[in-house]
Amino acid sequence: MEKNIDIEYANIDLDRTERTGMQEVIYCAGKTAEQIAGIVGAMVERGLYNILLTRISEEKVDFLKKSIGGHDVFYDADGKIGVVDRKLSDAPIGNITIVSAGTSDLGVVREAAVTAEVLGNRVNVINDVGVAGIHRLLAKEDMLKEARVLIVVAGMEGALASVVGGLVGCPVIAVPTSVGYGASFGGISALLSMLNSCAAGVSVVNIDNGFGAAVSASRINQMETAQD
Amino acid sequence: MEKNIDIEYANIDLDRTERTGMQEVIYCAGKTAEQIAGIVGAMVERGLYNILLTRISEEKVDFLKKSIGGHDVFYDADGKIGVVDRKLSDAPIGNITIVSAGTSDLGVVREAAVTAEVLGNRVNVINDVGVAGIHRLLAKEDMLKEARVLIVVAGMEGALASVVGGLVGCPVIAVPTSVGYGASFGGISALLSMLNSCAAGVSVVNIDNGFGAAVSASRINQMETAQD
Amino acid sequence: MEKNIDIEYANIDLDRTERTGMQEVIYCAGKTAEQIAGIVGAMVERGLYNILLTRISEEKVDFLKKSIGGHDVFYDADGKIGVVDRKLSDAPIGNITIVSAGTSDLGVVREAAVTAEVLGNRVNVINDVGVAGIHRLLAKEDMLKEARVLIVVAGMEGALASVVGGLVGCPVIAVPTSVGYGASFGGISALLSMLNSCAAGVSVVNIDNGFGAAVSASRINQMETAQD
Amino acid sequence: MEKNIDIEYANIDLDRTERTGMQEVIYCAGKTAEQIAGIVGAMVERGLYNILLTRISEEKVDFLKKSIGGHDVFYDADGKIGVVDRKLSDAPIGNITIVSAGTSDLGVVREAAVTAEVLGNRVNVINDVGVAGIHRLLAKEDMLKEARVLIVVAGMEGALASVVGGLVGCPVIAVPTSVGYGASFGGISALLSMLNSCAAGVSVVNIDNGFGAAVSASRINQMETAQD
Amino acid sequence: MEKNIDIEYANIDLDRTERTGMQEVIYCAGKTAEQIAGIVGAMVERGLYNILLTRISEEKVDFLKKSIGGHDVFYDADGKIGVVDRKLSDAPIGNITIVSAGTSDLGVVREAAVTAEVLGNRVNVINDVGVAGIHRLLAKEDMLKEARVLIVVAGMEGALASVVGGLVGCPVIAVPTSVGYGASFGGISALLSMLNSCAAGVSVVNIDNGFGAAVSASRINQMETAQD
Amino acid sequence: MEKNIDIEYANIDLDRTERTGMQEVIYCAGKTAEQIAGIVGAMVERGLYNILLTRISEEKVDFLKKSIGGHDVFYDADGKIGVVDRKLSDAPIGNITIVSAGTSDLGVVREAAVTAEVLGNRVNVINDVGVAGIHRLLAKEDMLKEARVLIVVAGMEGALASVVGGLVGCPVIAVPTSVGYGASFGGISALLSMLNSCAAGVSVVNIDNGFGAAVSASRINQMETAQD
Amino acid sequence: MEKNIDIEYANIDLDRTERTGMQEVIYCAGKTAEQIAGIVGAMVERGLYNILLTRISEEKVDFLKKSIGGHDVFYDADGKIGVVDRKLSDAPIGNITIVSAGTSDLGVVREAAVTAEVLGNRVNVINDVGVAGIHRLLAKEDMLKEARVLIVVAGMEGALASVVGGLVGCPVIAVPTSVGYGASFGGISALLSMLNSCAAGVSVVNIDNGFGAAVSASRINQMETAQD
Amino acid sequence: MEKNIDIEYANIDLDRTERTGMQEVIYCAGKTAEQIAGIVGAMVERGLYNILLTRISEEKVDFLKKSIGGHDVFYDADGKIGVVDRKLSDAPIGNITIVSAGTSDLGVVREAAVTAEVLGNRVNVINDVGVAGIHRLLAKEDMLKEARVLIVVAGMEGALASVVGGLVGCPVIAVPTSVGYGASFGGISALLSMLNSCAAGVSVVNIDNGFGAAVSASRINQMETAQD
């Protein structure tokens, strides 16, 4: 059984599903449209689907569609994320709830949501409940308590992660965003906040990395009861 | 009228009270015990009292006491702050409330409290209400609402400033502290959080600068109604 | 009574006026013109006015005007700030004086001035009195002394905040700006200067945050005499 | 039912177990021995046990033992972590496996292990399998595959997290450590590596934060199968 | 014999070949097309060839071609590198193997390969064998072992350098790339990883500096056996 | 006698010549063409000339020319520096020698040269003598020795300042430039090098600040012999 | 004539006086007492005197005195600077004036003063005239105007350099100090301020580098009138 | 054949010699004396010798000697490096020349020299030839030309690496050191200089990493002529 596809500029890891339960995802920043099309082409040829394309522009998606005609490419412009031959599960599992601090964080929320859905999870979203109006968050306490995993998306000072972390007992994945200006330093402020959270049970991914948060959350959401 | 005292290693600004309503304060880090004693000596000689000594060690206070015998030196070891010939007002003004995130922030709270009291303000303190247990803070909402100015003291992710800022309409002075480890970077994490607060009405002072926060708060607390 | 408006991508905090004395402001960076129009639409529908729009481009303002026809949108291009249905007070309160170091700081000055005026304050401005020609500042000493609160706006080395801070007894809010090049690092130099000011009574907001400075200043300017 | 204990310098969150499934933990850095003893005293008085004390020195533990005589204090000197009245479960749950890059990371490994055990988890440890000798890691592949959650502890360049992340399908919590010198900058190098991991499914906690990693891992390890 | 060409805006080091075995290379960023053409013109006039042009855009190459008509300019658009009058050796020496972590690193790989070939080396390339799928790398172990020098090119967390460094006994030159986003900080993350590599025998060049890596590798590859 | 011109957006310091021997210079970044024209207009109206305009684009110069028709505006496109009604001295003073490391530093060299000439100094330039070919520099040792002040302009690692500093006894002003990529961090690398120079007698100005270096050099060059 | 002394661990540059007008100075941090004594011994043996020892502890001076018995070692404990066989000029030249912001900057002032005196300059000192009380500085305006060169020493926000720079026409050398705490970051705040000074004619040396400032100032102070 | 020794706290890589030509080295910072003794004990038991111990204090060496009595431990106090059962080659290979900028860099020089000698190389050292007195370096040009590999050790501004790099054609390994103060930031200044060297053929290791430089240099020095 083929473990990888070795083409000139890429070496596609077919064994990844076997090892990690999830096939290789294509990070499209820094790749040309031709390279992306080449990689996707080799994958669809082998019958693969639900191929995730992160950080991809609309132009590259258009090129890809022409290049691999006959295959569908779902695209979410806010999240700059695509999915080739997307097939969502009819019975998504559990409950991943994504909570965002503000409307400007929407792109990261979308990247996380599209990823988590493709991975077979049931996804809920609570937008714009930043801590400057804490009652908005507290009003959603029931939804928070029902989640199996929480993804908290926030820029600026990123305080939402700590507040949410103090309210729940489930695992929390925090995603700092580059929303803000001046001393937010492109997301460093939120990143440091989340790493220093006074609430335990919060772990953190890279700035604007909705995709990575969704993968971690999916693995957690799909856990089964431990056996003796 | 003498505007300053020019001694070899120091130039004491006697005019500062006239200009700013507050006499010169002695920052003791990097000064020898002899220099501090020399400066204080020149000031008490002119009948000055309530002389603040910030960032002073117990050893230097002991040296000072001997050097200016006959004058009292109040000392708070947590806040590393001293006051020569402290005379507190019988009728302190208004209400400055200091809110801290954790017990480890106590030194900064004390520096702020001692300063604010010497400046004639009524001071209240609410300790250890960090956002990991938000109900502790919400339980104090009445006290927060009664304050004329709030000083919020927090290390680690400094989220408390944003949450408090979203609950009140009075001015909020945030003090980041160096409490934490690793990526708290000696208070940078809390500092950036507070500068990027999503709640408006929050301004910030230097890391661990309880003294500066108290001076700002005192000026605000002692404001009078605007005249037409 | 409705406490918030929960639309798909936003959760507008109507209760904010009750809690903090000031209604929610729309931070427009990172929001699409459609989202801004949706939020403003929901607010004007409920009779709200003086709606502040910070960090908004002229294009988004034009879209908004068309979208909510029948409502006026004031726009200041220097400060990139808009106000929907602006109604200024006939009897503005007190005296907020904004002092800037140079002509290049004008955008931040405007953001602060527009905000402070909408909040009902009387606003004065002193431009281009940076410390390289200190006599220009000293010539304005009377205006400085008449202020109830000062907002000091400066880029490059940000020294103006310390010099002003040493001249007055009122609260000073310092705003570092991103004016400069090389080792000004987008405003970090001025930010650090202001945080380390040797003058007490100075507190600081985020780089280029004229809006935040104005909110803090407004709360201070509108203080009333403390009651026993 | 009492939700918190409000003593002068601390406000102990008794409700935390209800909200998050885990009682308050005492971060001992920056607290005096007297304060720690006061907090612990109030907790044992209410019958609480398995009280975690992080970042505590042997001296403070000795003081505590005298102060609360009659209660046992377990202490791990490598991990600088204590537990008052430790009672470990007879039937620990699942499998948290801690993997470290080098012997110098042992303190962080211990902090994580002690925490995870107190929280009721079965814990395995694989030490000193840094990537410079990848065969040592590959030789443990079975143990890695059996884990329900992995905690990867590494300093210097922190590459171990990415390599492990590429081998498994379970959630991975990465802990950067301050092991190294020069351009490791006290753990920044490992922290950045882990945040930028090319392997998905890795989330990160603060530098040297074995405690936080264990709490996240425990929540994950104790997940049950999702219900429809 | 002429040691340098001193024209108004440049001082071309003709002696460099004598001293270092390699003629001067033109760093084209920050130079105008006219300046580049002037420098190249002076060099070809003296019969020089294999003139390397780093960081050069296609537009500047076009201008150059017109300006020095009669000379060939080889251009690699991925690597943004040009060579005037390229003459490759018929018998390239030894074996420099370039290993990259991902397809997005291709530009840096190309800059290194073009440089190394012009310098007379035999060059092999192994692309896209990042550590998230370690089997892809291990499958190439023979090729790694055959190399006389390895150039490892990686962005994001740069872990590939350490893993490769642990597998081989030949010198390894690591090139961090600016591939990544958020906390990769334009290549700082990979740079720090490589500097802190737990594998000995790895040295590092500047971020995205494929050229510099190739020069170091070429000098090493062309070493001869030490004489007594 | 008028000490300053106070127009709405600017406060021109006419007294500066009296105090510092040099009239106010207009920093044009962040100013609109209209503002620049307004300031220059007020100055030429008062008979001022040799008005320096730093960091000005060609477009703004064109606008200015139209606006103040009848006055000449000299413009150097490399240095992005303009001079209104430039009148150079017939007998320039002394000898300021500007030494640059590479052709890419030319813009900064030009900014310094234009400034120094307007201030009445004789200026020499030695370009492209970076330390990678030290013989080029040593060949100019006579010119270096003849200088009364040296301005050393270098990017990348900025080593030229130290080497020059070790060869001469006159004051050296070092200007780091933003030439370079990757870990040059926009000039930080060269800036730090120059601040840490092992050669004494070197002082440093801001990154790319040819103007400031020229002002310092001019003051030094125009020193007269000390009187008893 | 001997150009250098090559001993095992050091290579003393005897030619430096010829080239730069100033003999080699011994930077003592990181050198053992034995190494220092060895270097000084070789120098006094050749009849050299006025040998400067920077960053030297009292213990090392004591060892040195014993080791080179028969030679005098002057020591200034504040400035941590020593001079072997100090012989000050009877007719010091010109006027270098050192201005400091606060008493805590005294060590750096002393390092500069001792150096400048040894180099044959007349030195004046004005201490503790930080900008928080600007009248103290303005009261010294005459002394400032009489200086041929100014050295401005300041920590915290370092604003003094800009204010002084705007008052005088002579060259200004600014020395940032590590005085301060929190966001002063060991002198970075003052360093950035001084590099970004809005006053022209200010150049900067390393943090706490009183020695380097004095050397630059000495060269300037000893300039003679330019010849045609 | 045993590939590794798995003891509780360590997993010794016996296969490393096979893979990389060099046995595992013990990094002693962060390890207890007991752990070091345990690891060394297991190695000597298997007949291994020339065991390198980096970053080890004299106290730990003393403990080790007692613990493994019967084995010799060579110790260099400057370089804080030890070697168990050191056996140097009678016929060391080739020529590694270590060049340092100043006497304060001696510790790093020693770490490199001890390592390179144990690995079988002939080692030469040129100390204290920093660029402030370039003639000292040029006087050694013959020694530089004779080297097969150069290790350049420098702190402060690290310019020596670029100057040396421009003089020779052999590979250069640069080691930044933490020598310096203020803006040298513990070696960052030298590190950035070396990474941005304008001379090609220079690669860099971690700050103060004499050991790593020696390993790279040894591999290069022991290269043999390439075969067709």
pLDDT given at position G1: 66
Q: Which residues of D are less than 8 Å from E198 in CB distance? A: 101-102, 130-132, 156-157, 159
Reduced to 3 states (helix: H, G, I; strand: E, B; else coil), residue B93 is: strand
- Cβ contact A206:E182 at 8 Å: yes
Q: Which residues of B are less than 8 Å from D111 in CB distance? A: none
- Cβ contact C75:C175 at 8 Å: no
Reduced to 3 states (helix: H, G, I; strand: E, B; else coil), residue D176 is: strand
Q: What integer is the mean pLDDT of F202-223?
A: 98
Q: Which residues of E are less than 8 Å from F77 in CB distance? A: none
**Residue F220 pLDDT exceeds 80:** yes
Cross-strand bridge partners of residue C74 = C83
pLDDT given at position A1: 66
pLDDT given at position E1: 66
Q: Which residues of A are less than 8 Å from B197 in CB distance? A: 132, 156-157, 159
How does pLDDT run across F156-204, given as a tens digit for each residue? 999 999 999 999 999 999 999 999 999 999 999 999 999 999 999 999 9
What whole-number distance in Å separates Cα of residue H39 and Cα of residue H43? 6
Q: What are the Cα distances from residue A26, in Å, to A56, E108, E133, E149? A: 9, 19, 14, 30
* Phi-psi domain of C156 (left: phi exceeds 0; alpha: psi -120 through 50; beta: other): left
Reduced to 3 states (helix: H, G, I; strand: E, B; else coil), residue H45 is: helix
- Cβ contact H148:H175 at 8 Å: no
Reduced to 3 states (helix: H, G, I; strand: E, B; else coil), residue H210 is: helix
* Helix, strand, coil % in chain G, rounded to nearest 5: 40, 20, 40
Per-residue b/e over C34-56, b at no fewer than 16 CB within 10 Å?
ebbbbbbebbeeeebebbbbbbb
In the block, residue with structure tokens 């998905």: D200
pLDDT given at position E2: 85
- Cβ contact D91:D220 at 8 Å: no
What whole-number distance in Å separates Cα of residue D125 and Cα of residue D167? 17
Which of C67, C84, C101 lies at the terminal end of a domain, its last residue? C84
- Cβ contact C147:C124 at 8 Å: yes
Cβ separation of B196 and A188 shorter than 8 Å? Answer: no
- Distance from D104 to chain A by nearest Cα, in Å? 22
**Residue H187 pLDDT exceeds 90:** yes
Cβ separation of H127 and G15 shorter than 8 Å? Answer: no
Average confidence score pLDDT of chain F: 96
Q: Which residues contact E221 (CB under 8 A, 6 or more apart)?
A: E93, E94, E95, E96, E121, E148, E149, H226
What whole-number distance in Å separates Cα of residue G84 and Cα of residue G44? 9
What whole-number distance in Å separates Cα of residue G7 and Cα of residue G26? 15
Q: Which residues of G are less than 8 Å from B206 in CB distance? A: 181-184
The 3 state secondary structure assigned to chain F is: CCCEEEECCEEEECCHHHHHCCCCCEECCCCCHHHHHHHHHHHHHCCCCCEEEECCCHHHHHHHHHHCCCCCEEEECCCCEEEECCCCCCCCEEEEEEEECCHHHHHHHHHHHHHHHHCCEEEEEECCCCHHHHHHHHCCHHHHHHCCEEEEEECCCCCHHHHHHCCCCCCEEEEECCCCCHHHHHHHHHHHHHHCCCCCCEEECCCCCHHHHHHHHHHHHCCCCCCC
In this structure, the answer to whether residues G60 and G97 fall within a common structural domain is no
Cβ separation of A163 and B158 shorter than 8 Å? Answer: no
Is G205 within 8 Å of chain F by CB?
yes
Q: Which residues of B are less than 8 Å from G131 in CB distance? A: none
* Planar angle of CA C142, G164, G133, nearest 5 degrees: 45
Q: In sequence order, what E strands does chain A have?
A: 4-7, 10-13, 26-27, 51-54, 73-76, 81-84, 93-100, 121-126, 149-154, 172-176, 202-204
Is H150 within 8 Å of chain E by CB?
no
In this structure, the answer to whether residues B163 and B100 fall within a common structural domain is yes
Of H177, C151, F114, H161, nearest to B203 by C-alpha is C151
Cβ separation of A133 and C4 shorter than 8 Å? Answer: yes
Longest dimension (CA), chain B: 55
What whole-number distance in Å separates Cα of residue B218 and Cα of residue A208? 41
What whole-number distance in Å separates Cα of residue F218 and Cα of residue F223? 9
CB nearest B226 (choices: C19, C219, C221): C221
Q: What are the Cα distances from residue E199, in Å, to E101, E195, E196, F82, H27? A: 17, 10, 9, 54, 12
In this structure, the answer to whether residues B193 and B135 fall within a common structural domain is yes
Cβ separation of B15 and G102 shorter than 8 Å? Answer: no
What is the total count of domains within chain E?
2
pLDDT given at position H1: 66
How does pLDDT run across E50-108, given as a tens digit for each residue? 999 999 999 999 999 999 989 999 999 999 999 999 999 999 999 999 999 999 999 99
Q: Which residues of A are less than 8 Å from D225 in CB distance? A: 223-225
Residue B224: other Cβ atoms inside 10 A: 10
pLDDT given at position G58: 97
In this structure, the answer to whether residues F128 and F189 fall within a common structural domain is yes
Q: Do chains C and D touch (3 or more CB pairs under 8 A)?
A: no
What whole-number distance in Å separates Cα of residue G70 and Cα of residue C47? 92
Per-residue b/e over A55-84, b at no fewer than 16 CB within 10 Å?
bbeeebbebbbeebeebebbbeeebbbbbb
- Cβ contact E194:H45 at 8 Å: no
Is C208 within 8 Å of chain A by CB?
yes
The subunits that touch chain D, with at least 3 C-beta pairs less than 8 Å apart, are A, B, E, H
Of D153, D176, D150, D175, nearest to D165 by C-alpha is D150
In this structure, the answer to whether residues D76 and D159 fall within a common structural domain is no
Structure tokens belonging to residue G175: 């020395």
How does pLDDT run across G198-222, given as a tens digit for each residue? 999 999 999 999 999 999 999 999 9
In this structure, the answer to whether residues B143 and B216 fall within a common structural domain is yes
Reduced to 3 states (helix: H, G, I; strand: E, B; else coil), residue H206 is: coil
Percent of chain D, pLDDT > 90? 95
Cβ separation of B205 and C224 shorter than 8 Å? Answer: no
In this structure, the answer to whether residues C34 and C8 fall within a common structural domain is yes
DSSP count for chain G of H helices, then E strands: 9, 11
What whole-number distance in Å separates Cα of residue D53 and Cα of residue D27? 6
pLDDT given at position B1: 65
In the block, residue with structure tokens 């489930």: A170
Average confidence score pLDDT of chain E: 96
What CATH number corresponds to the domain at position H106? 3.40.50.1970
pLDDT given at position A202: 97
Q: Which segments of chain A have a pLDDT < 70? A: 1, 228
Cβ separation of E181 and A35 shorter than 8 Å? Answer: no
Q: Do chains F and D touch (3 or more CB pairs under 8 A)?
A: no
pLDDT given at position B227: 87
Q: What DSSP designation does H181 have?
A: -
Amino acid at B111: E
* C-alpha dihedral sign at F58, F64, F66, F69: negative
**Residue D1 pLDDT exceeds 90:** no
In this structure, the answer to whether residues F12 and F125 fall within a common structural domain is no
Structure tokens belonging to residue B34: 């002899």
Structure tokens belonging to residue A219: 């693995």
Quickly state the pLDDT bin for F1 (edges 50, 70, 90). low
Is E7 within 8 Å of chain A by CB?
no
Cβ under 8 Å to B: C residues 61-100 = 91, 93-95
Which of D84, D119, D142 lies at the terminal end of a domain, its last residue? D84
Amino acid at A178: S
In this structure, the answer to whether residues D60 and D102 fall within a common structural domain is no
Structure tokens belonging to residue D15: 């409700």
Q: Helix H58-67 to helix H33-45 angle, to the nearest 10 degrees?
A: 50
Cβ separation of F206 and C181 shorter than 8 Å? Answer: yes
In this structure, the answer to whether residues B120 and B181 fall within a common structural domain is yes
* Phi-psi domain of C144 (left: phi exceeds 0; alpha: psi -120 through 50; beta: other): alpha
Question: What string of pLDDT tens digits covers the 228 residues of chain C?
Answer: 688 899 989 999 999 999 999 999 999 999 999 999 999 999 999 999 999 999 999 999 999 999 998 999 999 999 999 999 999 999 999 999 999 999 999 999 999 999 999 999 999 999 999 999 899 999 999 999 999 999 999 999 999 999 999 999 999 999 999 999 999 999 999 999 999 999 999 999 999 999 999 999 999 999 999 986
* C-alpha dihedral sign at C62, C68, C69, C73: negative
**Residue H228 pLDDT exceeds 90:** no
Q: Which residues of H are less than 8 Å from G39 in CB distance? A: 103
Which of G84, G111, G132 lies at the terminal end of a domain, its last residue? G84
Q: What integer is the mean pLDDT of B19-28?
A: 94
Q: What integer is the mean pLDDT of F124-147?
A: 95
- Distance from A53 to chain B by nearest Cα, in Å? 32
- Cβ contact H172:H201 at 8 Å: yes
What's the length of chain A? Answer: 228
Q: In sequence order, what E strands does chain H have?
A: 4-7, 10-13, 26-27, 51-54, 73-76, 81-84, 93-100, 121-126, 149-154, 172-176, 202-204
Identify the burial level of C67 via C-beta atoms within 10 angstroms of its C-beta, where 0-12 means exposed, 13-18 middle and 19 or more buried.
middle
- Averages of pLDDT over each 10 residues, chain G, 228 residues: 88 92 95 97 96 98 95 97 97 98 97 98 97 93 97 97 96 98 97 96 98 98 92
What whole-number distance in Å separates Cα of residue H3 and Cα of residue D123? 26
**Residue D54 pLDDT exceeds 80:** yes
In this structure, the answer to whether residues E138 and E61 fall within a common structural domain is no
Average confidence score pLDDT of chain H: 96
Range of the domain at D15: 4-84
Amino acid at E81: I
In this structure, the answer to whether residues A73 and A100 fall within a common structural domain is no
- Cβ contact C187:C208 at 8 Å: yes
Q: Which residues of F are less than 8 Å from G22 in CB distance? A: 169, 200-201
- Distance from F159 to chain H by nearest Cα, in Å? 5
Is G103 within 8 Å of chain C by CB?
no
ipTM value greater than 0.90: yes
- Distance from E96 to chain A by nearest Cα, in Å? 18
